Amino acid sequence: MNALQGAYARAREADGSGAQGDSATVSSGRFMLADFSEHACRVSGFTATQACLHTDVEAGIGTRVIAYFDNIGRIEGVLAEKTPDGYVLRFDISEQRREKIAARLRWLREGGERGIDQRRHPRFKPRDGKSALKMPDGREYPCEVLDISVSGASVRTQVLPAIGSLVMLGRMKGRVVRYHAEGIGIEFLRQMDDDMLRRSVRLGDE
């Protein structure tokens, strides 16, 4: 077993998933060292707990870095192991963040990139995007509407309902159709007309 295979095996044990890592869905990124220098890298063996960074940059084991990964976003971590062409980055994240990453990876594996925001209607940014997200079981969470159109909305939220879940955003019923770095995308079950849109949110600049 080589160094990369060993890293994958340890990641599988930590995740309890048996997955080989999502190299196909997370294949590139960049990372920043303590001196604020940024470096591009290839990525393999991405799991909810760690990833292999392929880079020629020299850094010591134990170095803390801030990394940015395609399809995932910003993650802080520590260079935990040296590999023949880079390092294993062990993520320093909360359990909640780990679960969100695991959900994101599952969504990507299932072809979730086809669900990237495809709204064709004009989007508006609310002056005050504060709203509430209500789950089917009645639980309600505060959220922020990042942008909204007659057909859907992009929402910043700490909760991550499953793709396809029915939710209420304020008074609008919709379905979760995508994840993004800050939360979720919702497609309304019934398209609003312009007057309803203006009543639903106090609009700022488009």
> What CATH topology corresponds to 3-97?
Thrombin, subunit H (2.40.10)
Q: Which pLDDT score, from 0 to 100, does residue 71 have?
A: 73
The pTM score is: 0.50
Each residue's pLDDT expressed in tens, for the chain with a length of 206 residues: 444 445 445 544 444 443 445 444 677 788 999 898 888 888 889 999 999 999 999 999 999 999 988 778 789 999 999 999 999 999 999 998 898 888 888 877 776 554 444 555 677 787 778 899 999 889 999 999 998 888 899 999 888 787 778 999 988 999 988 777 678 889 999 887 777 666 665 544 33
Closest CA to 66 of 98, 95, 94, 30: 30
Domain 115-200 indexed as CATH 1.10.1040.10: no
Report the C-alpha gap between 131 and 150 in whole angstroms. Answer: 16
Report the C-alpha gap between 126 and 112 in whole angstroms. Answer: 27
How many helices (H) and strands (E) are present in the chain, helices listed first? 3, 12
Q: Which pLDDT score, from 0 to 100, does residue 79 have?
A: 97
DSSP letter (8 states) at residue 111: T
Q: Which pLDDT score, from 0 to 100, does residue 155 have?
A: 92
Q: Which pLDDT score, from 0 to 100, does residue 89 have?
A: 97
Domain with CATH 2.40.10.220 in the chain: 115-200
Q: Which pLDDT score, from 0 to 100, does residue 160 have?
A: 78
Contacts of 192 (CB under 8 A, 6+ apart): 150, 151, 172, 200
